[in-house]
Amino acid sequence: MKHLLSTADLSRADAVDLLDVAEEMSRATAREVKKLPVLRGLTVVNLFFEDSTRTRISFEAAAKRLSADVINFSAKGSSVSKGESLQDTAQTLSAMGADGVVIRHGGSGAPHRLASAGWIDAPVVNAGDGTHEHPTQALLDAFTLRRVLAGLPASGPATGAEGRALDGATVGIVGDVLHSRVARSNVHLLTTLGARVVLIAPPTLLPVGVSAWPCEVSYDFDEALAAHDFSAVMMLRVQQERMHAAFFPTAREYARRWGMTDARAAALGPDCAIMHPGPMNRGFEISAAAADSSRAVVLDQVANGVSVRMAVLYRLLTGQGSGAAASTAQTAAGSGTEGEA
């Protein structure tokens, strides 16, 4: 695997391997000294053309815990504001010796262009491109859900999930599917891992061609809750910054019909988890009580994001899988050769 651009490119074996590597990383970083020396001497560039908090910090923490040097690039205050193209930016980074590039861009397909154009000879990780995909978010969601299904703590060091997929799980994804790269990546990945996916949204917030996706579609949240025994319900943020038309009457109407209200949260099955990629609009797509309830695993998703992104960077920059990751973690723990600060 040279790049991670789309979850549609991952086979079931590749996806399970990445999740297993993330389990090893989760245990390794639970030690007193959290760093591993596996990427020492390599440089990872976080190339962010869009604003981000969780994703950028998560990738930075992941790279540093693997002992890589990290360069954070933000389009604001850079030569991009002077008209520099993506090609010129990429070639500049290549000349500076970037060993891996994590890119977040407002244009759908930008990471694919960067990876295929020959501008840079380094692994490329898609950290979100337009309304297209966000593969590492889907991986951390699958990691969290796999823990929940196995009856394990949703985050932190644990054993018992390795080798598992998501066969038998049913996941509802609710809200602004039209503008959501998270929804697209999750539909591909969850289906590959054996889960059944149900998209729930108003017709105006579903993309053209959704009938061809490997999932079911429902327009009524309450009907979907009555018809399915969900393992998890993932609420999507309503991306009003991408909306240039009226997709629903009012915010109050949207919350009433498609929001995770207190009543809907109470109607969920006893083992159903509430998920959200963040940031949350409390009182809009999800109530404060639901977001803070014991069944919500939103903060666990954030915590798991570091381990999953460590796994992705390790896999791409070393070409090694879960067995080598376990050996590396055990060697570092036994010899005290963790990465330097």
Residues 6+ apart with CB under 8 A from 10: 18, 135, 188, 189, 192
188 is in an annotated binding site: no
* C-alpha dihedral (79, 81, 86, 92), degrees to nearest 10: 0
113 is in an annotated binding site: no
204 is in an annotated binding site: no
**Cβ–Cβ < 8 Å for 123, 101:** yes
196 is in an annotated binding site: no
Rounded CA gap, 103 and 49, in Å? 8
Structure tokens at 6: 């789309």
55 is in an annotated binding site: yes
DSSP per position, 269-304: -TTPEEE--S---BTTTB-HHHHTSTTB-HHHHHHH
Tokens 């010796």 identify what position?
97
228 is in an annotated binding site: no
279 is in an annotated binding site: yes
**Cβ–Cβ < 8 Å for 144, 156:** no
240 is in an annotated binding site: no
134 is in an annotated binding site: yes
82 is in an annotated binding site: yes
Binding-site residues from annotation for L-aspartate: 82, 181, 237
Binding-site residues from annotation: 54-55, 82, 104, 134, 137, 181, 237, 278-279
Binding-site residues from annotation for carbamoyl phosphate: 54-55, 104, 134, 137, 278-279
